[in-house]
C-alpha cells in the first residue's frame, strides 16, 4: 500500500493543478457580498440588511483563516485533517476499497476504507464538491448510507 501520512513539504510535485476543497466557502461569501451591494442600492428598508451582508462577507473573506481540506489529482488525493498543519495523508486511488459520505448534524464525514484495513476520515460540510471526483477516480466504490440526511 502506497498511501501514508507525510509532511506537506514532502508531497510529490503535482503536474496538473489539483482541485482543492477549502474550509472557507469563498464563492458563497462573494455572492453574499454582491447581494448585499445589490440590496444597498434598492434605497429601501433592505439597505440595512445589505450593509450587514457586505460587512459579514468582507470580514469573513479577509479576517477569518482558510486552509485546505482535500486536494484531488488524477493519481491520488491529499487529506489535510491532521492537528499539525505540516502533516497530511496521501491516499492513492488504487488503495481505496470503498468510500462513504455520512451526514451528521454539525458536520459531515467522508470515510475511506483502505486495502490494509485502516480507515481515514475527514470532516466536511458538503458532499457536492467531492462527489464528482470520488466517482471519477474511485468509480463503483461508494457505499450508500442507509441513513438519510438530518
CA–CA gap between residue 133 and residue 118 (Å, rounded): 21
3-class state of residue 15 by DSSP: coil
With beta carbons less than 8 A apart as the criterion, state whether 99 and 14 touch. no
Count how many residues are written for the chain: 150
CA–CA gap between residue 91 and residue 120 (Å, rounded): 9
Kindly state the cell numbers that stand for 91.
491516499
What predicted TM-score, i.e. pTM, was given to this entire model? Answer: 0.79
pLDDT digits (tens, 9 = 90+) for 117-133: 999 999 988 888 899 99
pLDDT digits (tens, 9 = 90+) for 49-100: 999 999 999 999 999 998 889 999 999 999 998 888 889 999 999 999 999 9
pLDDT at 136 over 80: yes
Amino acid at each position: 500500500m502506497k498511501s501514508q501520512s507525510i509532511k506537506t513539504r514532502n508531497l510529490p510535485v503535482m503536474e496538473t493543478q489539483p482541485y482543492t476543497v477549502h474550509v472557507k466557502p469563498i464563492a458563497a461569501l462573494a455572492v453574499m457580498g454582491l447581494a448585499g451591494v445589490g440590496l444597498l442600492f434598492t434605497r429601501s428598508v433592505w439597505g440595512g440588511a445589505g450593509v450587514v451582508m457586505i460587512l459579514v462577507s468582507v470580514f469573513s473573506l479577509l479576517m477569518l483563516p482558510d486552509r485546505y481540506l482535500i486536494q484531488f489529482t488524477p493519481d491520488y488525493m491529499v487529506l489535510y485533517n491532521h492537528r499539525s498543519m505540516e502533516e497530511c495523508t496521501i491516499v492513492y486511488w488504487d488503495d481505496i476499497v470503498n468510500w462513504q459520505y455520512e451526514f451528521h448534524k454539525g458536520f459531515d464525514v467522508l470515510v475511506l476504507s483502505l486495502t490494509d484495513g485502516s480507515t481515514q476520515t475527514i470532516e466536511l460540510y458538503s458532499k457536492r464538491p467531492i462527489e464528482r471526483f470520488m466517482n471519477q477516480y474511485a468509480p463503483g466504490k461508494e457505499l450508500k448510507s442507509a441513513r438519510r440526511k438530518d
